[in-house]
Structure 1
Amino acid sequence: MDRTRPVEVVATDGSAAAARALGERLVAAVAGHGPAVLPTGPDDPPPPATLRAPVGPGVAAVVTTSGSTGVPKAVLLSGTALAASATSTAARLGGEGRWLLALPAHHVAGVQVLLRSARAGTPAAVMDLRDGFRPDAFAAAVRAARPAVTRLSLVPTQLRRLLDDADAGLDALRGFGAVLIGGAATETALLERARAAGVRVVTTYGMSETCGGCVYDGVPLDRVTLDLEDPDASGVGRIVLGGATVADGYQGSTDPSFLPGRRFRTSDLGRVLPGGRLEVLGRADDVIVTGGEKVPPIVVERALRAVPGVREACVVGVPDPEWGARVVAVVTGSDLEPEAVRREVDWLGRARPRAVRVLDELPLRGIGKPDRAAVRELFATEGGATPA
């Protein structure tokens, strides 16, 4: 007896019609009817045959990662894991709700928005993203869906754009009972600004391998476990997530990141703060070793974002024959002079950037994560970073 399940590629183009069609297929797959679903986006190449190979009978969705560690991988999400994630999210937020989809439908966060609303018996309202994400279009989508929509999921870049648009974006945001923020690190100042403006933001942490966000405001959802592997003297260790929302693995390969007992060893470092909340310190691979000192980029980025006029920051390491690596940074903002920005964070000592460049926008990948590889390439193609 064949104990596999075929995989159907479902293309999305940013339109509401495509997102709704994907939602219908996902609901059927989670219920055990029809093939597993592999969603693709408008700019994605046709998936290779290896990703379209039959999967286990319990797999409902095959979601590709953003490729932040190299080649993108196809994550096998079971119907059981997706249902557990939706159930735990509803429990944490105080009940079911109708969602507005303002993210690309083919990413894991978009998949979850579609499934959460379907579980509540109220199909998601969908924002048309074919022309990109614009505050005025978002406000129009909210007006068309009100008062039914009560839940929303965004990435930090979207939140910032809406807060900057006080006329339409901010007013539309205030009506949601919960606005989940994930997909990339969110600086404290942005969250404080949103909360001060009356927006009910909830930070989320997770990845495709955990059915998306599974730690809300630093606290794991029900049926989710959190451990730190090999913590150092300061309590910083590799984050390990476990429980009902963990994926079955990767399509066509085994990976040591998936541990026995349905646990997943992430690529991120973190520590548990007093009170029990998780603080995510960024990817272990992004830690810069300069002159023998380990520098987590997030620490330098927080310092840069505290400089007046700086809106966003991305910090990377570039090769250096003397130090092993140099800390360099790009920032965005208004009326910024690179050397003046650098002087403002001299107090960081060896962790301070050796060079700073000002950009109009940070290079991004996926649904809003800073593209660190592109930043490194920027310094390489422009002659490197000269030590100060």
Structure 2
Amino acid sequence: MTRLQPLEVPSGTAAAQVLPALRAALDGGPAVMPYAAGAQAPTAPDAGGPLPDGLALVVGTSGSTGSPKLAMLTRDALLASATATHERLGGPGQWLLPMPAHHIAGIQVLVRSIVAGTRPVVADLSAGFTPAAFAEAAAGLDAGLDTGLDSGRRYTSVVPTQLVRLLADKGGTEALRRFDAVLVGGAATAPALLARAREAGVRVTTTYGMSETAGGCVYDGLPLSCSRARAGTDGRIQLGGDTLAAGYLGRPDLTREAFTTDPDGTRWFTTDDVGHLDAQGRWHVDGRIDDLVTTGGLKVAPRLVEEAIGSRLPDVAECAVVGVADPEWGEVVAAALVLADGSPAPGLADVRDALRDALPGHALPRRVAVVDTLPLRGPGKPDRAALRALLADSS
């Protein structure tokens, strides 16, 4: 039976200390269950039977709809993800890690570094994420060779909030231009933010995935070579391929609900996201099925409102949209806005007027609040429960 051991993951530059344990797990040693330094070490639940062959990593999901689950990822799934990522990006290279390494996005930066045979550079997060710390880390990129597999390419992975802050800083923007690819994931990325990054000469690539798929498995709307995507009968996105988790540790009931197998043996994971293929054949995620706002009996996808705000209100640097309870409409669309430095705060009427030609009337926000920062949880995801509380009394 595969052994499973907790792995304490330091923050910031010390995160690279976990590389030996991660290498050992990929080589058939004890599987690891990472957790943030200073937090209580996790206790593995009763697996209810033998652990999967080749198990290398047990990592928590974001837990955005209740208690986090523990996804079981095998060596083969992690290596398939890393190999296909390098294939899509143009070859193996050196990675900069600017986020905590106990979440799947951060762990995969380290796994890709192991596969590429390069030394990862880790940003100093002792004062939280700052453009200055990112730029300093980017300046430390070098050949970083361990096994000679490096192609001279440079990569990093950020969440949208980090990208916003870097683009607002001259040194941060210059640092971003050093990379052959900047992966952006963990939460929805507004088209206007992507356009701003590309106009600044930053080579951004959006990623979509989760712990259950060993991180991002759909890049710029197209599945990796080892991955597949389709829409289920209820509109929810289903993901398949070699990067899928074996299931949830100690929760065979949840495993049966989320993971299914077609008659031909193809396994699928059913996400909580609804989405569609656009005219170019690329996947577009409309949002989580439980985040849809039902207002006056009509459904509104928050992401579509967020994208409209990003394209029609240039002074808005970030935004998040949720539904809040309303006695007349059941729910109303509410938006939290983070403004670019020095920008005047728009009123509710200003926001609605700017969006009238882009959205149907029922999707226009009825509540708006300007905030300094969006409340976040996990790897850059908006904390929608906190947002609902914040917007409940806004006008």
Task: Flag whether TM exceeds 0.5 (same fold).
Answer: yes
Cα offset for 1:346? 4.3
- Among 365, 368, 386, the residue aligned to 2:380: 368
Letter in 2 for 1:258: F
Residues 61, 49 of structure 1: CA spacing in aligned structure 2 closer, same or farther, 3 A cutoff? closer
What secondary structure, in the 3-state scheme, does the structure 2 residue paired with 1:145 have?
Answer: coil
Whether 1:277 aligns to 2:292 is no
Query: Distance in 2 between the 1:43 and 1:267 partners?
Result: 31
Letter in 1 for 2:236: R
Whether 1:222 aligns to 2:225 is yes
2:155 corresponds to which residue?
151
Q: How many residues align?
A: 372
- Among 312, 335, 338, the residue aligned to 2:347: 338
1:319 corresponds to which residue?
325
Whether 1:136 aligns to 2:132 is yes
Cα offset for 1:325? 1.3
Residues 363, 52 of structure 1: CA spacing in aligned structure 2 closer, same or farther, 3 A cutoff? farther
Query: Distance in 1 between the 2:44 and 2:220 partners?
Result: 39
1:45 corresponds to which residue?
40
Moved more, 83-92 or 142-151: 142-151
Residues 44, 73 of structure 1: CA spacing in aligned structure 2 closer, same or farther, 3 A cutoff? farther
Query: Distance in 1 between the 2:18 and 2:55 partners?
Result: 16
TM-score w.r.t. length of structure 2: 0.90
Query: Distance in 2 between the 1:15 and 1:165 partners?
Result: 21
Cα offset for 1:335? 1.3
Q: Does the 8 Å CA contact 2:47/2:251 hold for their aligned counterparts?
A: no
Letter in 1 for 2:98: A
What secondary structure, in the 3-state scheme, does the structure 2 residue paired with 1:91 have?
Answer: helix
1:234 corresponds to which residue?
none
Pairwise CA RMSD: 1.8
Q: Does the 8 Å CA contact 1:338/1:358 hold for their aligned counterparts?
A: no
2:113 corresponds to which residue?
117
- 5+ residue gaps in structure 1? 232-236
- Output one character per residue of 1:298-355: Cα deviation in whole Å (capped at 9) or x when no partner: 1111222221422211111122233221111111113113323344334531111111
Q: Does the 8 Å CA contact 1:342/1:356 hold for their aligned counterparts?
A: no
Cα offset for 1:43? 5.7
Q: Does the 8 Å CA contact 1:8/1:52 hold for their aligned counterparts?
A: no
- Among 71, 83, 105, the residue aligned to 2:101: 105
1:259 corresponds to which residue?
260
Query: Distance in 1 between the 2:86 and 2:314 partners?
Result: 39
- Among 369, 376, 379, the residue aligned to 1:357: 369
2:79 corresponds to which residue?
83
Whether 1:96 aligns to 2:92 is yes
Query: Distance in 1 between the 2:279 and 2:7 partners?
Result: 45
Query: Distance in 1 between the 2:388 and 2:41 partners?
Result: 29
Query: Distance in 2 between the 1:145 and 1:51 partners?
Result: 43
Letter in 1 for 2:354: E
Query: Distance in 1 between the 2:251 and 2:133 partners?
Result: 41
Query: Distance in 2 between the 1:100 and 1:83 partners?
Result: 19
- Among 236, 239, 248, the residue aligned to 1:238: 236
Letter in 2 for 1:114: L
- Percent identity of paired positions between Structure 1 and Structure 2: 51
2:302 corresponds to which residue?
297
1:7 corresponds to which residue?
4
Cα offset for 1:123? 2.5
Q: Does the 8 Å CA contact 1:155/1:184 hold for their aligned counterparts?
A: yes
Residues 174, 385 of structure 1: CA spacing in aligned structure 2 closer, same or farther, 3 A cutoff? closer
Letter in 1 for 2:243: T
Cα offset for 1:385? 5.1
2:65 corresponds to which residue?
69
Query: Distance in 1 between the 2:136 and 2:279 partners?
Result: 42
Cα offset for 1:257? 1.0
